[in-house]
Chain A
Amino acid sequence: MSDHAQHGPGGHGKDHVPHILPLSTYFKTWGALMVLTVITVGASYLNFGPGNLVLAMLIATAKAATVALVFMHLYYDHKFHGVIFVSSLVFLGIFIAFTMFDTETRGRAEAMEGEHPANIKDPFGGTASEAAAKAKLKPAAAPAHH
């Protein structure tokens, strides 16, 4: 590794120059985060029903965005780093949403099956109640074969 000198610092172009933010930016950011924390704690003592969760998440997201944009320099950084960060949230969203497609909608078919029990002996023949249900759903459906 070390014998590879032709790309020593001389040949490497300019040094990295840091992007320094003024102190006041940091303190303002900190102030905003403190205020938002107080607001969210305060709001939790009031009852908005489901609104509590929404409000708490909105405030948390505002805080998270502030931290990411200023403290983590995302606002001043390459856009691609922002894309990376946001993509993690998108895929997390997919994960939670698709899992809940399942957990929130279980047990619907059982109720329908209960109303229209299948005839085990003649599963494709259809029972009277099923035929009625079919007729209700699809009036033009062809009669079942026997």
Chain B
Amino acid sequence: MSRSITVDEVAAAPDSGGTDYINATKGVWSWLTTVDHKRIGIMYLVSVLTAFALGGFFALLLRLELLTPKHTIMSADTYNQAFTLHGVVMVFLFIIPSIPGALGNFFLPIMIGAKDVAFPRLNLLSLYLYWIGAIFALSSILSSGLDTGWTFYVPYSSTTNTAVVNVTLGAFVLGFSSILTGLNFIVTLHKLRAPGVGWFKMPLFLWGLYATSIVQILATPVLGITLLLLVFERTLHIGIFDPALGGDPVLFQHFFWFYSHPAVYIMILPGMGIISELIAVHAHRKVFGYKAIAFSSVAIALVGFLVWGHHMFVAGQSELASTIFSFLTFLVAIPSGVKVFNWIGTLWGGSISFKAPMLFALSFLFLFTIGGLTGVFLGMLSVDMHLHDTYFVVAHFHYVMMGGTVTAFVGGLHHWWPKMTGRMYSEKLAVLSCALYFIGFNATFFTQFLMGSRGMPRRYYNYLDQFQPLHAFSTFGSWILGAAFLVMLYNLLNSLKNGERAPKNPWGGLSLEWETASPPVTENFVHVPHVEHGPYDYAATVARRAS
């Protein structure tokens, strides 16, 4: 790409001062009308964390209800609504926008030495669409609720009396928001890299975001049309999904999973990107197999489009299709395995500092590996016949989505918190929250593997007495998990007030965000940076400093 800028000095941002992005202008209005990607990122962060708290609240209620085999605290109908809202909020309002919206928006332009994303106003629009979608979706709580599960499967969703239309329209709008973010990121990465930032000199987080954006662009519109069809099915009885009128309910599942399976990679790929950063920076070592990690992100994104039918093995899908989908599903394990081995290779021989972000990254490696491997079990036709719609599936996707993405997200949040806020949190409390998180998570969800493999079906309100010990254990685990997040929240919020001022580069990172002030100035850098070293050239940098 030809560029006309020839500023060749390395950015030398001021250490502090009143010009950082937080203090640049004052007042709520200045935030609501901002086009600064960092402020938009912060607003996303607050929004997705609020959604996470809400979804987590529902999760704790569910676990409490499941403490005993019969009625504990809520009726069966309320239970159905609670698990639906838990799913909808966590998937559409939290996990999909979480990393791209919050950390991606904040760091993507900085990491390539740009002043902003390519379309700053579109970026703000995407945040507003997120809010509008969220209001639509959550309005269902105030009206008749929703009890279809987050997957909105027909025929139930086209006949239930709950607020399907509100939530599907909300998800439709949220899809727009997601598309606009993805579009913005792709164009930004193509057009706004500073001089010297070649494709293979980008931090790996950005490769994760790039792959995510591809999926957002290609898959989300199909969700849009699916949800529109569902709305028409409900309101106008068009019959596309209604067998009585010649339609096919299984077709809905194809449409839904053509989006929602790739959406799983929308959720996990940015998380994998974060892990690459955390491991390299806190092991102070050049990433092992940069290109392998970068391309494996894109490979996961693309292969992810070929496997959606593995959600439909028992739905009446043809045996031929199931066989093809099952085979292709195994392919996903290859790029995922490439990543895990490369991360371990990066740790090998590094000078590892076991700070909180690194502890989260190590937790990720452990949890994601379990989540990923149990996915292979489920992709196998014969095994899935037994495990389908049991707690084994619930445990599997929580190990991937929570053990994977959420772990990476909170790890990244701790890693970049000093940069975003200019404050250091208490390391002790952070380590404590990580330990509680790891213990609580495994207590909650490992038991669910056991229950599922013994035949405990998911989404059931009542269950056989023999499952109670495991259910109770899982519920106790969820309390530890809740405590972990309370400690984390206290620690981070407290740092805003009482934390030490963060230095420019607390972890000794080499990517561009560590070269600007903490918190960064409004347009990220005082001068357009000219990058000479890669984001992970630790050995070379040490040598240069020594000489």
Contact = CB atoms under 8 A, between A and B. Distances in A.
Interface of A: 1, 4, 7, 11-13, 80, 87-88, 91, 94-95, 98-99, 101-109
Contacts of B312: 102
A95 B318 contact: no
B320 interface: yes
Nearest to B2: A13
Contact of B318 (A7, A87, A101): A101
A108 B254 contact: no
Nearest to A112: B319
Given A13-B4, A94-B305, A102 B318 contact: yes
B17 interface: no
12 contacts: A11-B5, A12-B4, A80-B190, A94-B305, A101-B324, A102-B309, A102-B312, A102-B317, A103-B318, A105-B321, A106-B316, A107-B318
A52 to B, nearest CB: 23
B35 interface: yes
Interface in B82-132: 115
B251 interface: yes
B69 to A, nearest CB: 29
A102 B306 CA distance: 13
Interface string B249-280: 01100100010000000000000000000000
A98 B306 CA distance: 8
Contacts of B115: 4
Given A102-B318, A102-B321, A94 B306 contact: yes
Contacts, number: 57
B65 to A, nearest CB: 36
B248 interface: yes
Nearest to A100: B321
B218 interface: yes
B101 to A, nearest CB: 22
A108 B258 contact: no
The 4 closest A-B pairs by CB, nearest first: A13-B4, A102-B321, A105-B318, A101-B321
Given A102-B250, A103-B248, A109 B319 contact: yes
Given A4-B523, A87-B218, A94-B306, A101 B320 contact: yes
B222 interface: yes
Contacts of A98: 254, 306, 308-309, 321, 324-325
Interface in B291-315: 305-306, 308-309, 312
Given A98-B306, A105-B321, A108-B319, A1 B250 contact: no
A104 B316 CA distance: 12
A16 to B, nearest CB: 13
A72 B356 CA distance: 52
B386 to A, nearest CB: 14
Nearest to A12: B4
Contacts of A87: 218
Contacts of A94: 305-306
Given A98-B324, A104-B318, 19 more contacts: A4-B523, A91-B218, A91-B305, A95-B222, A95-B258, A98-B306, A98-B321, A98-B325, A101-B309, A101-B318, A101-B321, A102-B254, A102-B309, A103-B248, A103-B251, A107-B318, A108-B319, A108-B320, A109-B319
A99 B248 CA distance: 12
Contacts of B523: 4
Nearest to B115: A4
Contacts of B318: 101-108
Contacts of A103: 248, 250-251, 318
Contacts of A7: 5
Contacts of A102: 250, 254, 309, 312, 317-318, 320-321
A108 B323 CA distance: 13
A85 to B, nearest CB: 12
- Of residues B4, B190, B222, B321, which shows the largest number of chain A Cβ atoms within 10 Å of its Cβ? B321
B6 to A, nearest CB: 10
A80 to B, nearest CB: 8
B218 to A, nearest CB: 5
A84 B318 CA distance: 32
A12 B218 CA distance: 34
A118 B248 CA distance: 28
A127 to B, nearest CB: 20
Contacts of B317: 102, 106
